[in-house]
A and B are shown apart, each in its own frame.
Chain A
Amino acid sequence: MADVTVIGAGVAGLCAAYAASKAGLDVRLIDRKGSPGAHGCSWWAGGMLAPFCEGAVAEPVIVSHGQQAAAFWAKVTEVTHRGSLVVALQRDREELARFARRTTRHVGVDDLAALEPDLAHHKSALFFEDEAHLDPRLALSDLVAALAETGVQIEQAEVAPDDIQGPVIDARGMAAALPGLRGVRGEMVVLRAPEIRLSRPVRLLHPRHPLYIVPRAGGAFMLGATQLESTDRRGVTARAVLELLSAAYALDPRFAEAEILETGADLRPAYPDNIPRVTLCGRVLRLNGLFRHGYLMAPALAGQAVEYLTKGIKGDLVHED
């Protein structure tokens, strides 16, 4: 019997399996669809490791734990440490001032020519130097490879915690259907615009259609993401594409010539406070509710789950059922 069985090979389950394995536990990892892919919401993430920007809306616990994410990911995948930028259109200048008031660890930049030449036409911005980003799909496959190196393979099977003997980490996301867990719909678009060069994620503040753009390899850009209190699982809507592309066009009109590579929509599992939790239910630890902070919070959540399993320490993300 394994020391712990992890169910779910999304970002939460993979991080938990990796942390458990690194802590010397014998780990079994099971997912109903096998390796990570388009069936899981981790596939559709932006991959920003931006705890300070998220702090504009998220609770302080996200800002504090999120800061360890980049170091965790750098051990298994390529992390780009170039910070992130926040801009607003001229008429929404007040949004930038408000964002600055509600966040920390940023500097105001009046001239973007040196930092991000393609955005030099935006006259002011906030620069969050300590933030980073990664490519989520690459991170997932690198994590799967790192697990394989420690002898952990993903078994494809549909199981529930009750089917398993011994300690279980249940990281099935929406499929776990836990009380209080709701789906928050997100929609994204991937473009290829080889003409445009950005070296770091850029957020465009807008009162109606906020947007972030994350540069990916090969001249690709991920545009995200809508956030709707909806469990609708349809593909991306025309409205979402209109909004995301209009915002991108406002940021740089050359995006109008970009090739649309992909669109996607999925549900983010979230608890009422939008903070991820490890919930203790006897021998089952439920890792869930990562909301829009999968890559940012999975390392901390996994760390606390494993710390509880190995030392009985209850961190601040650990709750009793």
Chain B
Amino acid sequence: MRDFYGVTLENPLMLGTAQYPSPAVLEAVFRASGAAVATVSLRRESGQGQGFWQIIKGLGVPVLPNTAGCHSAREAITTAHMAREVFETNWIKLEVIGHADTLQPDPFGLLEATEILAADGFEVFPYTTEDQVLAARLLDAGAKVLMPWGAPIGSGLGLNNRYGLRTLRAAFPDVPMVIDAGLGLPSHAADALEMGFDAVLLNTAVAQAGDPVGMARAFALAVQAGTLARDADPMAPRDMAQPSTPVIGKAWL
């Protein structure tokens, strides 16, 4: 298991804390899934929500504050500073949104903010695309973890560009990477782990499920399955059939 700025996670599952039916359900979800990190948005959903922040702190897992909803590097930097004060952590999941409909990251703003925040002692988890060139620049700028998207936030599409993600993984084999956003089903999470990613981060798929606790448990099992599968050296797909029992020499009548 790779470490995230010095922290090794027991469970490669990170969960967002928005959109649950109630804080009680949120707590039950963390208990049932053993999720190892809680992300929390500071910008709007929790603005001055001391009561809610206490609940997040009480989950007993490291908190990864995010800059969700920020549309410029400057906004994201301000939010990151607020987050550091509120949650007393240098971790920041950096989101700089470039497009209101797709919520796609703005690569230029992201790079700028990563550079400034990393220089200021933040441990940056940039929410990025699968773009390899951008990944290299983010690492140069001081990020030691990457969070490539699976698909647009809240879309539930899974791993939208498998080729791009596979290439990104292969290009930076030693960089801890979390697939963040776009996962809709546990099979998507297993897929990400099988592909060699180190963790997944999701929110909507669990929070908006009819039974959030049941879905959280399903995701926990999926990331466990994906990790076991990856460590067990999976077979490569092949085009030709290969019988598992040899045919030649078999008795026939």
Contacts and interface: CB of A to CB of B under 8 A. Distances in A.
Nearest to B47: A230
B36 to A, nearest CB: 22
B210 A239 contact: no
Nearest to A233: B48
Interface in B14-66: 21-25, 27, 44-52, 55
Contact of A182 (B21, B47, B51): B51
A100 to B, nearest CB: 12
28 contacts: A58-B21, A59-B22, A98-B210, A101-B210, A102-B210, A181-B51, A182-B23, A182-B49, A182-B51, A183-B49, A183-B51, A228-B46, A228-B47, A229-B45, A229-B46, A229-B52, A230-B45, A230-B46, A230-B48, A230-B49, A230-B52, A231-B51, A232-B47, A239-B44, A272-B22, A273-B25, A274-B21, A274-B23
Interface in B203-221: 210
A138 interface: no
The 9 A-B pairs at the shortest CB distance, nearest first, are namely A182-B51, A273-B24, A229-B52, A274-B22, A229-B49, A272-B23, A230-B49, A272-B24, A232-B48
Nearest to A180: B51
Given A183-B51, A207-B154, A228 B21 contact: no
User: Most chain-A CB neighbours within 10 Å: which of B24, B25, B46, B49?
Assistant: B49
Interface residues of A, number: 21
A86 to B, nearest CB: 16
Given A182-B55, A230-B49, A274-B23, 5 more contacts: A57-B21, A182-B51, A231-B51, A232-B48, A272-B55
Nearest to B210: A102
Classify chain B: how many residues form its interface, as a range: 10 to 19
Contacts of A273: 22-25
Interface in B157-215: 210
Main secondary structure of the interface of B (DSSP, over half): loop
Nearest to B52: A229
A183 B23 CA distance: 12
Contacts of B27: 272
Nearest to B27: A272
Contacts of B45: 228-230
A256 B46 CA distance: 30
Interface of B: 21-25, 27, 44-52, 55, 154, 210
A98 B48 CA distance: 32
Contacts of A229: 45-46, 49, 51-52
Interface of A: 57-59, 98, 101-102, 181-183, 207, 228-232, 239, 270, 272-275
B59 to A, nearest CB: 12
B44 A228 contact: yes
A275 B21 CA distance: 11
B58 to A, nearest CB: 10
A231 B22 contact: no
B44 A231 contact: no
A270 B52 CA distance: 11
A209 to B, nearest CB: 12
A275 B25 CA distance: 12
A224 B253 CA distance: 77
Contacts of B49: 182-183, 228-232
Contacts of B24: 272-274
Contacts of A231: 48-51
A59 B21 CA distance: 9
A207 B22 CA distance: 18
A58 B25 CA distance: 11
A98 B22 CA distance: 19
A178 to B, nearest CB: 11
A114 to B, nearest CB: 32
A303 to B, nearest CB: 23
A95 to B, nearest CB: 10
A183 B50 CA distance: 9
Contacts of B22: 59, 270, 272-275
Nearest to B154: A207
Contacts of A270: 22
Contacts of B46: 228-230
A181 B210 CA distance: 25
Contacts of A228: 44-47, 49
A191 to B, nearest CB: 24
A57 B207 CA distance: 11
A239 B24 CA distance: 28
Contacts of B154: 207
A117 B47 CA distance: 40
A287 to B, nearest CB: 19
